[in-house]
Amino acid sequence: MIASREQLEKTALHYGMLPFFANRIAGFSVEEMAAPGMLFGEECDDYGCWDWKGPVIREMKLAYGKFFRRKAGFVALDLLPDFINYRRAAYPIEPDSQEALILDIIRRHEALSSTELKRMIFGASTRKRQVGELADILDRTKPKRHSLEGPLQRLQMGGYVVIADFEYKYTAAGERYGFGVALYTTPEAIYGKSIVCADRTPLQSLAFLIKKMSENLPDVSLGEIHQILK
């Protein structure tokens, strides 16, 4: 059972890929592996699995994002090149789409919080940066406010965007409050350009990932593993 940040990291690295929430593979999630009261830190003073995501990401051993059926989870860096190779082929980006616009903005700024990204698309950026030549694209493809989450999910599912960390608000007394705000970046920006290289075709990368997962999930069918990776 996961009862510490170290155990969370160790467990995710053991499986290589680990969804945060319950899914079609019973027991295969942080939610189900967390010790009682430790998912959101209800039973401890050191937060819980939900708050340990940021510190785990900062160790640079695991990537984090909405990778599994548009729900969050971890992918170990040694599997990330094949994960990206397969997913980018499975989730291509159409030119001039909302996904292409959002990805271009993230690439230009290297990292943006969800708050900054929304303000940059829907209004002024908190960093007071100019979109410049993207202005005409914004005018033509400006997403509706309710539609930003969908494109961001698709970008994460496609391996184009990951969550680099979470930013929190603090009181004058230094006490943290509220939920963390995701900081979005690209795998290339945080892990280096070599992270997108794989010496396999996308389908070969998928077969490699299924094989790796099946080694740690011997009682789960290959079909079920394939479904969670789609």
Q: What is the pLDDT along the chain (230 residues), one digit of tens a residue?
A: 999 999 999 999 999 999 999 999 999 999 999 999 999 876 555 689 999 999 999 999 999 999 999 999 999 999 999 999 999 999 999 998 999 999 999 999 989 998 888 888 877 544 444 444 454 555 555 555 456 889 999 999 999 999 999 988 888 777 776 678 899 999 999 999 999 988 999 999 999 999 999 999 999 999 999 999 99
CA atoms within 13 A on the CB side of 151: 26
pTM of this prediction?
A: 0.87
Closest CA to 87 of 67, 65, 102: 67
**How many whole angstroms separate alpha carbon 114 and alpha carbon 185?**
10
